Amino acid sequence: MAGSWWWPVTSGPVLVALLIGGIAAITSGIIGVFSVLRTQSFAGHSLADIATTGGAAAFLIGVSQFWGFLLMGIAASAMMEVIGVQRRRGRDVATGVVLGGGLGFAALFLYLGTQRTSTTGASFSILFGSIFVVSPDTVPGIIAAGVVTLIAVALLGRRLLLTAISPDLARARGVNVRLTGVFFLMALAATVSLSAIAIGAVLSTALLVGPAATALRITRSPVKAIVVSAVGGLAATWLSIWLAYESYYWPPYGHGWPVSFFVVALVLAGYLLSYARRPRKAVPPRSPHEGVECSPA
């Protein structure tokens, strides 16, 4: 194995992993702040689980998982909207019903896939991710999806914050709350398919929620929170890739530890540290007129 212990990046797959992990972490960190503020962590997680269905379908027809994740995620977010995710009360149930149906199809596609190729390994790379085996052909698509999502969120960031914090005020100012919600779910679906490629569909929630929740505990300004969340997510992901690479020398020998495990561990450590840093105090909700602020996550 070439390279010194502190700079193992001499192999193509690791470079690709760092690149994809970085894009996924930054996008998730930014979108994550919005999804925590909008209390849509469940939607984020469900979109990731449903993306599994797309991943399984892609596996079945033999195209890159990423496109499966992306298309199925966007379809599912549209479905959630139709069923009624926009009402705060019924939102979790609507999300859950779409998730349940999506998982049914995932079971079918994985079954058909394993029938054809008689391997169960595919379920695992879809569910838990394997960042070191992402084909370099997918990279331009991943970069494009990340950039488009970030530009869209940059353009609509204020509107997203306003509808998250006070839908009534947003409506009074002429913002189409429902359209903003659909748009947000689509951005969420794209983000989740990025992180699903990086750390696996079922664990992409870690990158989405962890850094964002930590950042929102540390700072109350949304802009600062977005920066902290993106930087924190990026640091956790790159450190995890390095640790996973090093873990080939750890017991049990011959098996690397999965990147996704390290991401989860680091992200949770960060969240728990944010509790230690500042004791939680009750913060009275402020009017959005005084500048947009948000309560700790």
Task: Check binding of 84 to other proteins (CB under 8 A).
Answer: yes
> Which range, of 38-46, 63-71, 171-179, 284-292, touches other proteins by CB under 8 A?
38-46
Task: Check binding of 126 to other proteins (CB under 8 A).
Answer: no
8 Å CB contact between 21 and 237: yes
Q: How far apart are CA 193 and CA 170, in angstroms?
A: 29
Q: How far apart are CA 68 and CA 52, in angstroms?
A: 8
> Which range, of 5-13, 58-66, 68-76, 264-272, touches other proteins by CB under 8 A?
264-272
> Per-residue contact track with other proteins, 183 to 222, x per CB under 8 A?
-----------------x-xx-xx-xxx--x---x-----
Token pair, residue 162, equals 């306003």
Q: Would you tell me how many other CB atoms lie within 10 Å of the CB of residue 243?
A: 18
> Which range, of 8-16, 84-92, 147-155, 189-197, touches other proteins by CB under 8 A?
84-92
Task: Check binding of 278 to other proteins (CB under 8 A).
Answer: no
With tokens 């896939």, the residue in question is 113
Site for other proteins, residues 15 to 34, rule: CB under 8 A: none
Nearest residue (CB) to other proteins, 136 versus 248 = 248
Nearest residue (CB) to other proteins, 175 versus 181 = 181
Q: How far apart are CA 18 and CA 8, in angstroms?
A: 11
Q: How far apart are CA 261 and CA 264, in angstroms?
A: 5
From the CB of 203, what's the least distance to other proteins, in Å?
6
Q: How far apart are CA 31 and CA 154, in angstroms?
A: 10
Q: How many residues does the chain have?
A: 297
Taking the chain, what is the end-to-end CA distance rounded to the nearest angstrom? 43
The helix/strand/coil state of 258 is: coil
Which parts of this chain interact with other proteins (CB under 8 A)? 36, 39-42, 44-46, 49, 83-84, 87, 89-90, 92-93, 95-108, 110-111, 114, 120-121, 123-124, 127-128, 200, 202-203, 205-206, 208-210, 213, 217, 252, 255-258, 260-261, 263-265, 267-268, 271, 280, 296-297
